[in-house]
Chains A and B, each alone.
Chain A
Amino acid sequence: MLPGATGSFSTGLICGAAAVAAGMSPLASMAIAAFGYAGTAQLVVVQLATTGATLIVLSLAGLVVNLRYAMFSLSMSRYLTGLNFRQRLVAAFFLTDPAFALSVARFTQHPDEGHRYAFYMGATLAMGAGWFIGVALGTALGATMPASWQIEYCVPLTFLAMVVMVVRDRPTAIAAAVSGITALLAVNLPYRAGLLAAATLGIVAGYLAESWQRR
């Protein structure tokens, strides 16, 4: 569980610092981390808000970044059976990438695991602790850093690290290239609508590339 927690810690560090750099108060920075509980989407939404995106564009962008949780939610609902409403509510709210990855690995290797909900909550608590410590530290440090440090540039650099991790084959590479070029060409569209255009075209391009590859 340690890799999950340290990953969440460093994401939290960047998220806290970026929120303060964007002009959020320390309280708001902690609140968005607690209620949203989603690092990547938070970075996207906060960054878009500082560059003049409308509420609709940044809501859609946040939703798109979080779409993977719908897939995790589907998968977890198959494993975590027999829970009451309150337990399902808690499981849904705290669904994260590391908690999902750890739980799926465990439940596949040990199909007879009798305490699935407890295992899942243990995984999510370990990573949640890393996340909140990271956010608190990032918020505290971010508030003391002068603007000339351009700490907000950590955000696109974080995305860069992520895109390198997710581009694994030709269709994902094509999706990434189409998206990046479209975003540059459409950068002067109002309300940052170019982001949605770029993401949509990227998804379509990846999908088509995969279809052609299969023939």
Chain B
Amino acid sequence: MAAPLSSLDAWILIAIMTVVSFLPRAVFLLFAPDLALPEPVKRALRYVPAAVFPALIMPAVLITDGRIDFSADNARLAAAAVAALVAVRRGNTFIVVLAGMVTLHAMKTLHGA
């Protein structure tokens, strides 16, 4: 599913990241210090993180070859479940990732893959 990036892709990504990171940071500090955001826009912005991350997580965890995969063979599902549990209890990103990766490989070893 994942194709390695070519070196051209990589430099295009660097250019994109430079632009999409700088513009929001500069909008008020550099360009328009007196511009005021309308209240509904501020309220909507509050939901951006909660609405973006699950859209990235769910396909990465549950989709195998274009289909939803709830089977026990899906080691990524068990890894994500353990990571979620750790996240709810501790909240430290590094420990969450570590717990998930350990589970991923434990499950793969268990299934002999």
Contact = CB atoms under 8 A, between A and B. Distances in A.
Contacts of A165: 87, 91
Contacts of B44: 203, 207
User: Chain A's interface: helix, strand, loop or mixed, by majority?
Assistant: helix
Interface residues of B, number: 73
Q: Looking at chain A, what size class is its interface with the partner chain?
A: 35 or more
Interface string A1-44: 00000010011011000000011110010011001111001101
Given A49-B13, A202-B55, A74 B37 contact: yes
B51 A41 contact: no
A130 interface: no
Interface string A132-166: 00000000000000000111111111111111111
Contact of B24 (A25, A42, A55, A66): A66
Given A95-B29, A156-B56, A62 B2 contact: no
Nearest to A96: B25
B4 A51 contact: no
A180 B57 contact: yes
Contacts of A35: 14, 17-18, 21
Interface in B38-61: 40, 42-61
User: Chain B's interface: helix, strand, loop or mixed, by majority?
Assistant: helix
Contact of A162 (B1, B27, B49, B62): B49
B110 to A, nearest CB: 15
Interface string A40-75: 011011110111100100110111111111111110
Nearest to B35: A74
Contacts of B22: 92-93
B55 A183 contact: yes
B79 to A, nearest CB: 7
Contacts of B84: 160, 164
A161 B96 contact: yes
Contact of B100 (A32, A67, A153, A175): A153
Interface of A: 7, 10-11, 13-14, 22-25, 28, 31-32, 35-38, 41-42, 44-47, 49-52, 55, 58-59, 61-74, 76-77, 80, 85, 88-89, 91-93, 95, 149-167, 171-173, 175-184, 187-188, 194-195, 198-203, 205-207, 210
16 contacts: A32-B10, A35-B21, A41-B17, A51-B1, A70-B27, A71-B45, A93-B26, A152-B2, A156-B61, A158-B96, A159-B53, A162-B53, A175-B50, A183-B55, A199-B48, A207-B40
